[in-house]
Amino acid sequence: MDMKRDYYEDIQLLNSKILWFWFIMLIASLATLPFLLPNYHIYMVNYMAINVIVTVGLNILVGYTGQISLGHAGFFAIGAYGTVLLMTNLHFPFLLALVCSALIAAFFGFILGLPALRLEGPYLAIATLGFGMAITQVIGRWQVFGGRMGLEAPDLSLGPFVIDTDRQLYFVIVTIAFLLILAARNMMKTRVGRAFIAIRDSDIAAETMGVNLTLYKTLAFAVSAFYAGVAGGLMAFLLGFINPSSFNFILSIYFLAFVIVGGLGSIFGSIMGAVVMTWLLLTLDKVQELPYLGAVLVSFSERWMNLAGLPNIASIIFGLIIILLVVFEPLGLYGFWIRTKIYWKTWPF
């Protein structure tokens, strides 16, 4: 490692030539990826990128600030419905609608952050759970939101570009995800992020050092909700169609699972968690298509459950993997990554 000459090099994202090289390689491979993958896989990568956005945002709240939210599907829904409605009813351009609905989600996040000033742990979990479920109920019953029938996403265009395939959508989603990840990293390295972490580690000390707890706790909720809002807005276009059941409270649990599987308080962990778990979820959905095992599971399901019980097998496997991961690697995939890195650095010892 070369000597550092000033303080900026200490906080720089890419502080060596090697890192610059990998950074450019990463961008290049992300840019060529959609031309190499078949359509379904592009859809899957888009799905992953959206979940990465939510997970990074949720990790800011849960992993960095030490709060909890079981209601993130609510913010996700606000983002999705907000974007679609602003575009169809008020004819906002896509990006403006996306930012506006994410800001609306952030505002709701701020509101939900207020009880967090008094509630902790399980109590806060229940309060946020209630919020998430209330949002689903409201959009399910209100005609503006299409009720149970849902809403169709409008045609998407960015300036002169019309975006109507998953491959085109890929560039929109991955670019936004990329920028939001960098933004999160920057935020966590500077004053606001430090205040979040300080609140997690010792709120009393943070307070006596001049951190306004009210402001920063609600801010953490707002930032986290903003991320979920953006992701929701993008999801509307990936699915092409949204209805209340796309945003049920199980989704909130999944988001939290992504964070924990990835590793609390790590942005890189969030990316790994979201990518791996999304892959798993989408793959387990088609469990009956697996060679041999699929047939066995189908006959097991027919013998012991009804055929509709088959999706449950996906849930069971999903749950089992979470339990095993948390038991054997409490730091999540990030912990696994750290250990691998240390192993290679110190190899062959």
Partner 1 sequence: MTNNNLFSVDQLTIKFGGLTAVDRVSFRVEPGSIFSIIGPNGAGKTTIFNCINGLYKPDAGSIIFKGEDIVGQKPHRIARKGIARTFQNIELFSRMTTMENLMLGRHIHMKTNVWTGATFFRRGSKAAQDEIKHRERVEKIIDLLDLQSARNQFVGGLPYGTQKLIELGRALALEPELLLLDEPSAGMNSEEKQDLVFWIKDIQDELGLTILLIEHDMKMVMDISDLILVINFGKPITEGKPEEVQRHPEVLKAYLGEDEVIDQSA
Q: Which residues bind partner 1 (CB under 8 A)?
A: 6-8, 10-11, 13, 182-184, 186-187, 189-195, 197-198, 200-202, 204-213, 219, 223, 265
CB of 207 to partner 1, least distance (A): 4
What's CA 183's distance to the chain center, in Å?
A: 14
Report the residue number, 16 or 202, with the smaller CB distance to partner 1.
Answer: 202
Structure tokens at 194: 């430090």
Structure tokens at 154: 């409008």
Report the residue number, 8 or 328, with the smaller CB distance to partner 1.
Answer: 8
- Give φ, ψ of 36 to 5 degrees: -100, -25
CB of 218 to partner 1, least distance (A): 12
CB of 181 to partner 1, least distance (A): 11
Report the residue number, 63 or 132, with the smaller CB distance to partner 1.
Answer: 63
CB of 65 to partner 1, least distance (A): 12
Provide CB contacts within 8 A for 48, sequence distance 6+.
274, 275, 278, 279
Token pair 């999304």 in the structure block, residue:
278
Report the residue number, 150 or 193, with the smaller CB distance to partner 1.
Answer: 193
29-64 core/surface letters (b: 16 or more CB in 10 A; e: else): ebeeebeebeeeebbbbbbbbbbbbbbbbbbbbbbb
**CA 3 – CA 181 distance, rounded (Å):** 28
CB-count burial class (<10 Å; 0-12, 13-18, 19+) for 107: middle
CB of 172 to partner 1, least distance (A): 20
Report the residue number, 56 or 236, with the smaller CB distance to partner 1.
Answer: 56
